[in-house]
Amino acid sequence: MKIYPRSISVIVSIFFLVILWKTELQGQLLIDTAITKEQLVEMLVDNSVYYESVKLSCDGEAKGLFHHALDSTNLTLESGIILTTGNAISAIGPNNNHSKTGENDIDDVDKDLAKLANDNTVVRDKCVLEFDIVPIGDEISFNYVFASEEYPEYICSEYNDVFGFFVSGPGIDGPYENNAVNIAILDAKAKHAVAINSVNSGVVGNEGEMPNCQGSKGSLKYSKFFIDNSELDFDDPNKIQYDGFTTKLEARIKVKSCKKYHFKLAIADIGDSELDSGVFIEKNSFKSNTRLADIQVTLPTCQENSCDGSASLTLLDGIADNYTISWMVEGESVNMGNLVLNDICKNLKARAIIETKNRGCMQVIDVKMPKDLSVTANGVSGSAMDSCTGAIAVKASGGTTPYRYSWNNGGKKDALTGLCPGKYSVTVWDNNNCQTVATYEVPEIPKIASVDEAGRTFKVAKIIKATDQSLTSLLKKRNLLSFQKNESKVLTTDNAFLDDLATLIKEDSQTILLIIGHASSEGPAELNLQISKNRAEQVRNYLLSKGVDEQQLEVIAKGESELLVEEESEADRIKNRRVEIQRKN
């Protein structure tokens, strides 16, 4: 019998929205349980596999999609799906409970899981996702992390919570139902399943006994795959709730190209229903080693109601003349048999379906559109009326590169110098003739007049207001603040800059700053909009704490609408997690 403190109540699904809000503010794990079984599989597979016949035997709150994990938690996966024996949202940190137990009423017998757990027939709280796929290549692989609250006390006990990935189909002859094999194993020779008693710290738990970790029952030799997370920490949201979890593991199996295989991902409590376990499976890691085609998209021009875009396929793997191609546009089948789809409109939902006639393979490729063209200011500096020393620098993003710039003063680049005070407009075109216009103002640096003490000489001096000059200089050197992934907290390395900024704007009550929050394009757009607002508000709050008048600060949230750079890598996403500071006047 398990004995553990029960004074900390279980967080149930009614608190999901509160936790989700909290995670975005603090940079924790994001988990969405309001999803369909098809969405689970869509998150797993890439376009090198075709899936069908999805089945799910799992409590509604026990499964979900997870996001923003790699940098915001101590997990080793970024995003994907989570299957659990309790509540999926219970995985969210901090780790403030050694005995987290959620509600999951799926207790049907599962012979495969019972066999994995050494014929222990007490299988509780199972969560099982099944589907069929037709791989294009001859190998399938995926990445995952197994985690549990059973660690470390119940290592080598009868409570051997387990995860299995069962594959059946042509050429496979295994010991499980439908002659399936389990590919979620730690050692190809010993074939130890991924379970509490086989992947652990290497030390028998307080409630365990050594015989349960010997021979086919388990092992203590795989500690290199284990991460101990058992130390309670009520203040660190970046630690997930589970007391232990594995490093990123890979499952891999050889298959026959273009043949149908059945896949079953299953996790369960073993021995009782207490203490949650979960498995995180990486986004798009479920893939074949070959594909049928690549796609190249030419976007529609941005003339009104333009539908002159196209998508073309390049066939791979030597399948010429032995294929059929169909295109789906807004759910309707069109343009059968052609490698090219023409007349694509902006924001059109389209996909290509390629099938081989002789081999039975299928690949589905979505036509993806980039974000709308936009332009933002990288910096604006002022000028005295008779010196014309102002400058403006802008940055285009979205649409399709390369970009063309045209200013109302004849400039053709992304930056202007030698500007007199006044308003300047720039028109930006992308490679598809999409267009956007923005206007910026170079502020005037004022002069003052003076008379000498004797009143004999009147002089007009080019004396620049110290605050104006210093503030312009400061923002010219720097007007961007960076943020950690999913974080809204101001970095301590930015404190000195913000302190200088606060000092300068307090000296001139007429100065108004725009504090513009931005986010990368990962995750849902509405959450990115919220986190961009949180970032801008944190900068404003810092300046307020330094005595700046709130009337001098305006917060604007842009979300992912104005990316500084197109995101093709994590380095690009880092640049887009920012707050931009501009003078309004």
pLDDT, one tens digit per residue, over 64-121 is 999 877 767 888 888 899 999 999 988 988 878 777 777 666 666 788 998 888 766 6
Closest C-alpha among 179, 349, 344, 326 to residue 264: 179
Q: Determine the topology of domain 371-464 in CATH.
A: Immunoglobulin-like (2.60.40)
pLDDT at 315 over 90: no
Q: Over range 194-208, report the average pLDDT.
A: 95
pLDDT at 387 over 80: no
How do residues 517-566 score in pLDDT, each as one tens digit?
999 888 778 788 888 998 999 999 999 988 999 899 999 999 988 887 77
Rounded Cα distance between 585 and 574, Å, is 29
- Of the pLDDT bands very low, low, confident and very high (cuts 50, 70, 90), residue 357 is low
- Of the pLDDT bands very low, low, confident and very high (cuts 50, 70, 90), residue 237 is confident
- Are the folds of 293-366 and 465-585 the same? no
Residue 296 identity (one-letter amino acid): Q
Coil, strand or helix at 502:
helix
Q: Which residue has the tokens 């593991």?
A: 249
Q: Over range 140-152, report the average pLDDT.
A: 94
The neighbour count for residue 515, using CB atoms within 10 Å, is 22
Which residues fall within 8 angstroms of residue 95, CB to CB, at 6 or more apart? 229, 230, 231, 232, 233, 236, 239, 240, 241, 242, 243
Q: 321: exposed, middle or buried (C-beta count within 10 Å: 0-12, 13-18, 19+)?
A: exposed
Whole-model pTM: value is: 0.58
How do residues 241-260 score in pLDDT, each as one tens digit?
899 999 999 999 999 888 88
- Within 141-229, residue ranges assigned H as helices are none
Mean pLDDT of all residues belonging to the chain: 81
What residue ranges do the domains of the chain occupy?
13-288, 293-366, 371-464, 465-585
Q: The domain 293-366 belongs to what CATH superfamily?
A: Immunoglobulins (2.60.40.10)
Which residues fall within 8 angstroms of residue 3, CB to CB, at 6 or more apart? none
Strand 162-168, strand 194-195: pairing: antiparallel
- Assigned CATH for 465-585: 3.30.1330.60
